[in-house]
Amino acid sequence: MTMASASEPPQASSSTQHSLYEGSTQYLHWRFSPEQLGRMRHTLNEDAVSAIRNAFESDSLGSSTSVSFLSADEEHLLVKLYVGKISQLCGHFRFPEEVEATAASYMKRFYLKNTVMDWHPKNVMLTALFLATKTTNHPISLESYAAHIPRTVPSDVLDLEFLVAQSLGFDFAVWHPHRALWGIWLDVQNIPDASIEELSRAYEAAVGHVRAARLTDAEFIYTPSQIALACFSIASPTLASAWAHAKFPSSPRPPVLEVLDPIKTLILRDGSPPDVEAVREVDRRLRLCKNPEKIPGSNAYIKKQQEKERKADEKRRRKAEAVRIAMEDGDPFGNELAKKAAAADLDDDDDDD
């Protein structure tokens, strides 16, 4: 098993010495330092608060002064709660571990690009899980999926599916620590003087720590194999050390052991579900500071929809004009002017809401 260094900047390489993981989109696009994660979340939060404050003001002058917006840490706390709920849903549907782990990754990635004040984690959680069933080849019909979740209709899931996929950058493949842990489990069975009962207990405990790691930022900072070994080390430091020495017999202190302590600290510190009462207060405040442009019926929402319809009308008018000019020129398949108009329309289609 290759242990890529977490401190190395992600970059592609054609070297055969590099692992397959180092050529993955996860390695290239979704690895950050703790400091980068903190800056990303705080910048996203500040930008969201500024935009939503303006939306409140355009709806009713002075209305934002009494609004208590969420902080970046409060947003993260709410996301963490719903990441934990994915496990409960997967148990209900009897989805395999791969689906659960993938959905958790999708949801955490989504909120590196979006704010809970625009998109509530409950709805994103349902969509991320449904998307994960498809990308991991464990599909379920949308109707059956929605029917088994109280107060949920298919549109609740489908309306956000493209947004979630787009926020992921369409990077659907995820490399998971539980797979790397399985590899370690197979290896340690060759360690002499270790009973199968001892090995089984250590493995089962390590699986629990891998699941706890999904509530943390570990996957953004460290490689799946590093996280897996750290979880195995929490469960049995002796067996983890024996595995490392077997992998690196010429090294008195195998390098893979050097990175384990900060990972273990992260998992043990952040790998528990948040306090329900604290999150309930955050969720209550979220109802009051949710982006009014996302609330059907609000003045800001109506204005936003009117603006979208105006842009759509303008686009249709340009297309009709391009077709008219093409027909007048005797070129029903379009001339250079029509091509330019079509290209402009394609650009319009990429505009964010």
- Domain span at residue 215? 176-270
Q: Please list, residue by residue across 72-96, b when 16 or more beta carbons sit within 10 angstroms of its beta carbon and e when fewer do.
A: bebbbbbbbbbbbbbbebbeebebe
Give dist(CA 234, CA 201) in Å, integer: 12
The verdict on 163 and 185 lying in the same domain is no
Give dist(CA 20, CA 110) in Å, integer: 24
Q: Please report, as a single letter, which amino acid is at residue 346.
A: L
User: Does residue 8 form part of some domain?
Assistant: no
* Tokens matching residue 193: 């003087």
- Long-range residue pairs from 302-306, CB within 8 A, at least 24 positions apart, any chain: 303/58, 303/59, 304/353
* Tokens matching residue 268: 């043990």
CATH value at residue 124:
1.10.472.10
Q: Note down pLDDT in tens along the chain; length 353 residues.
A: 445 444 444 444 344 466 788 888 888 899 999 999 999 999 999 999 998 888 887 766 776 777 888 999 999 999 999 999 999 999 999 999 999 999 999 999 999 999 999 999 999 999 999 999 999 999 999 999 999 998 989 999 999 999 999 999 999 999 999 999 999 989 888 888 778 888 999 999 999 999 999 999 999 999 999 999 999 999 999 899 988 888 888 888 888 888 899 999 999 999 999 988 889 999 999 988 888 767 555 555 556 655 666 676 677 777 877 777 776 666 555 555 555 555 555 555 555 55
What's 174's DSSP letter?
-
pTM: 0.79
The verdict on 158 and 73 lying in the same domain is yes
> Please, what is the Cα angle at 162 between 159 and 168, to 5 degrees?
135
* Tokens matching residue 258: 């050097």
The verdict on 264 and 211 lying in the same domain is yes
User: Does residue 7 form part of some domain?
Assistant: no
* Tokens matching residue 125: 């959680």
The secondary structure of 116-160 as a DSSP string is TTTS-HHHHHHHHHHHHHHHTT----HHHHHHTSTT--HHHHHHH
Give CA separation, 318 vs 72, 305, 332, in Å. 42, 20, 16
Domain total of the chain: 3
The verdict on 328 and 181 lying in the same domain is no
The verdict on 180 and 94 lying in the same domain is no
What size, in residues, is the chain? 353
The verdict on 310 and 186 lying in the same domain is no
The verdict on 284 and 262 lying in the same domain is no
Q: How many CB atoms lie within 10 A of CB 282?
A: 18
What's 69's DSSP letter?
P
Give CA separation, 283 vs 44, 71, 74, 75, 278, in Å. 19, 12, 9, 9, 9
The verdict on 79 and 202 lying in the same domain is no
The verdict on 266 and 326 lying in the same domain is no
